[in-house]
Amino acid sequence: MLYSDEALHALLCKYVLSEAGEEERLWVEEWLQSNPEHPQLLCSLEKVLAEIPRREHTPNTELAWQRLSAKIPGQRKFKMWWMAAATLLLIAGGWWTMVREGRTQIFTGPLLAQLDDGSSIKLDSGTQLQVLPGFGKRQRLVKLKGKAVFNVTHGAVHPFIVRLGDQEVKVLGTQFMIDYRDHLRVHVNSGRVMVINGKDSVLLSTGMLLESVKGVFNTAAHVINADKKELVFSDTPLREVLQTIGVVYDKKITADSVLLQLPVTATFTGESAENVLAAIAYMTNTIVVQYSTGTVLRSMKNKI
Amino acid sequence: MLFLYPVTMFDRHTLETIFKEHHAQCLVFAVHYTGNEHDAEEVIQQVFLRLWEKRATIEISGVVRSYLFAAIRNTAISNWRKETVRREKENVAGTFRMADPVVQSPVWELERSYLQALAVLPERCREVFILSRQEQLKYSEIAEVMNISVKTVENQMGKALKIMHKELHEYTNSMQLL
């Protein structure tokens, strides 16, 4: 295949920045071996593409939030007598509540944990759930290790937060599954959740599946049931279909760029990755090509 | 995959979480378009205030950062246009361009050459290159932020790389850049 000078630079740029697809990477690797000057050129381009150092900023996020918060209507302005009444109420409420709230409740699966706010959590065998002190009163914070299906009540004052090591899932009223054994996996049956890991956050809605491996988020949509591998596509672009299959089956799958917008309508339940790919290849008039680094759907026109 | 955020779901806690999570990144990003931290902070305040006001109907794609960056870019450009109209009335018009990246290199000559090379790039080409190399955005994120196709990002990066390589040829051959 011949490339113009600019197209060659675009391709080498993708290669250096890990944006190239499987086919493109193979092409560049062949190109590198075809002439001893090519590796020198690539090395030279890599220097141009080195990250530009960032300007050091020292943002005062707390102050900025206070500024923003002051502009938002509906601020709670406590008057003195309200504060006094609240203080009295706290004293009158007595030490008993404080003692009760000061305990961490621990549930170990398999069981169905019913929490004070009405939420229920079905824990798998060996899964541990800690309900932190003050749950439902000061916050709705739990810690999880293992796998569980959550049914969280709506409309509470505090958001429901599931802490998973240094990551957390913030629930916006919903039913969802968390699998936090080898790596984090979240599937939303209904409603919305936000997943946060300190570097980024992702909002998941119904049918979305997230996998977090080494802090990198991968998301897929159109997943009705993650465990049963129930996938429903309706005029879905092939690009999204392959993204979903990649996350659900933990495989790296790409396709020729001209194919990525092809619409796919299909329903799969409990099928193997091979069967799903074979069906999609049939529907899109493509062939499945296996490489050592992943799978590529190729147009029949490119077969030869 | 797009979805709606009902009012009852998008509460102050959610806004505060998103703000505190992304404020630092947003500030660095916004400075590219405003040229200084003060104006950048104003743009961020505008974006989050609008996010709150429109929370009943606003649509956010999965990755929050891309949404915020796109909103910051659009707001900064919109502010600049308003400012330009105001200045034109006062006959002090200027031309919009992204703020130059500050390159903190011990090699002054190289730093100067790098900035000069960036200045040679066409406007959109330079924006794509800076978002990639300074903000470290993926092609798909740049496409989303600038509302262009990934293919256009690829082409602009190829064009930028070719020009930058030509402009910095003597340095890339002789030493480690930056």
C-alpha distance from A202 to closest chain B C-alpha (Å): 5
Residue A142 tokens read as 């739990």
Among A42, A60, A68, most B C-beta atoms within 10 A, so best to mutate, is: A68
A231 bridge partner residues: A223, A268
Residues 173-212 of chain A with CB under 8 A from chain B are 173, 192, 194, 196, 200-208
Residue A198 makes CB contacts below 8 A (sequence gap 6+) with A166, A167
Instruction: Average the pLDDT over each of A124-138, A199-213, A245-259, B103-117 and give the range with the smallest value.
Output: B103-117
3-state secondary structure of A285: coil
Our CA dihedral for B160, B143, A203, A215, rounded to 10 degrees, sits at -30
Our CA dihedral for A189, B9, A183, B26, rounded to 10 degrees, sits at 140
CB A68 within 8 A of CB B45: yes
Query: How far is residue B82's CA from residue A54's CA, in Å, rounded to a whole number?
Result: 29
Tell me which chain B residues have a C-beta less than 8 angstroms from the C-beta of A217.
63
Q: Element (H or E) spanning A256, and its range? A: none
* CA-atom Rg of chain A in angstroms: 26
Would you tell me how many other CB atoms lie within 10 Å of the CB of residue A145?
Answer: 15
C-alpha distance from B155 to closest chain A C-alpha (Å): 6
Instruction: Average the pLDDT over each of A82-86, A111-115, B121-125 and give the range with the smallest value.
Output: A82-86
Residue in A6, A9, A53 nearest the CB of B178: A53
Taking chain B (178 residues) in consecutive chunks of 10 residues, what is each chunk's mean pLDDT?
Answer: 42 83 89 87 93 76 79 91 78 57 49 79 90 88 90 93 86 54
- Interchain proximity B22–A55, CB inside 8 Å: no
C-alpha distance from B89 to closest chain A C-alpha (Å): 31
Query: How far is residue A93's CA from residue A96's CA, in Å, rounded to a whole number?
Result: 8
C-alpha distance from B20 to closest chain A C-alpha (Å): 6
Model confidence at A166, pLDDT cuts 50, 70, 90, reads: confident
Query: How far is residue B123's CA from residue A4's CA, in Å, rounded to a whole number?
Result: 22
Query: How far is residue A70's CA from residue A79's CA, in Å, rounded to a whole number?
Result: 17
Give the pLDDT score at B43. 94
A286 bridge partner residues: A299
- Interchain proximity B172–A48, CB inside 8 Å: yes
- Interchain proximity B159–A6, CB inside 8 Å: yes
Would you tell me how many other CB atoms lie within 10 Å of the CB of residue A40?
Answer: 11
Tell me which chain A residues have a C-beta less than 8 angstroms from the C-beta of B103.
52-53
Q: Tell me the whole-structure pTM to 2 decimals.
A: 0.52
Percent of chain A scoring above 70 in pLDDT: 85
* Residue A142 scores a pLDDT above 90: yes
Tell me which chain A residues have a C-beta less than 8 angstroms from the C-beta of B16.
65, 69
Query: How far is residue A281's CA from residue A170's CA, in Å, rounded to a whole number?
Result: 38
Query: How far is residue A103's CA from residue B68's CA, in Å, rounded to a whole number?
Result: 39
What would the DSSP string read from start to end of A193-228? EEEE-SS-EEEE-TT-EEEEETTEEEEE--EEETTT
Instruction: Average the pLDDT over each of A80-89, A131-140, A197-206, B97-106 and give the range with the smallest value.
Output: B97-106
Q: Does A9 reach chain B within 8 Å, measured CB to CB? A: yes
- Interchain proximity B13–A64, CB inside 8 Å: no
Residues 20-79 of chain A with CB under 8 A from chain B are 44-45, 47-55, 57, 59, 61, 64-65, 67-69, 71-72
Quickly tell me which residue has 């092409």 as its tokens. A27
Q: Does A91 reach chain B within 8 Å, measured CB to CB? A: no
| Amino acid at site A300 | M
CB A46 within 8 A of CB A16: yes
- Interchain proximity A201–B64, CB inside 8 Å: yes
CB crowding B145-171: b at 16 or more within 10 Å, else e:
bbeeebeebbbbbbbbbbbbbebbeeb
* Residue A190 scores a pLDDT above 80: yes
Give the pLDDT score at A74. 60
Tell me which chain A residues have a C-beta less than 8 angstroms from the C-beta of B11.
159
Query: How far is residue A19's CA from residue A24's CA, in Å, rounded to a whole number?
Result: 9
Residue B69 exposure: Cα atoms within 13 Å on the Cβ side: 24
CB A51 within 8 A of CB B133: yes
| Three-state SS annotation for A10-76 | HHHHHHHCCCCCHHHHHHHHHHHHHCCHHHHHHHHHHHHCCCCCCCCCCCCHHHHHHHHHHHCCCCC
* pLDDT tens readout for residues A221-268: 899 888 888 999 988 889 889 989 988 888 888 888 888 888 999 899
Tell me which chain B residues have a C-beta less than 8 angstroms from the C-beta of A8.
158
Query: How far is residue B111's CA from residue B114's CA, in Å, rounded to a whole number?
Result: 5
Query: How far is residue A244's CA from residue A246's CA, in Å, rounded to a whole number?
Result: 5
Give the pLDDT score at B101. 54
Tell me which chain A residues have a C-beta less than 8 angstroms from the C-beta of B171.
47
Tell me which chain A residues have a C-beta less than 8 angstroms from the C-beta of B157.
10, 13-14, 17
Residue A182 tokens read as 């080898």
* Residue A144 scores a pLDDT above 90: yes
Q: What are phi and psi of A196, to 5 degrees?
A: -130, 135
What would the DSSP string read from start to end of chain B? ---B--TTTS-HHHHHHHHHHHHHHHHHHHHHHHSSHHHHHHHHHHHHHHHHHTTTT-B--SBHHHHHHHHHHHHHHHHHHHHHHHHHHTT------PPPPP---S-HHHHHHHHHHHHHS-HHHHHHHHHHHTS---HHHHHHHHT--HHHHHHHHHHHHHHHHHHTHHHHHHS---
| Amino acid at site A155 | G
Instruction: Average the pLDDT over each of A118-132, A203-217, B53-67 and give the range with the smallest value.
Output: B53-67
Give the pLDDT score at B177. 42
C-alpha distance from B95 to closest chain A C-alpha (Å): 23
* Residue A96 scores a pLDDT above 50: no
Please give the C-alpha separations between residue A172 and each of A134, A264, B6, B45, B111, in angstroms, as whole numbers: 19, 31, 10, 24, 48
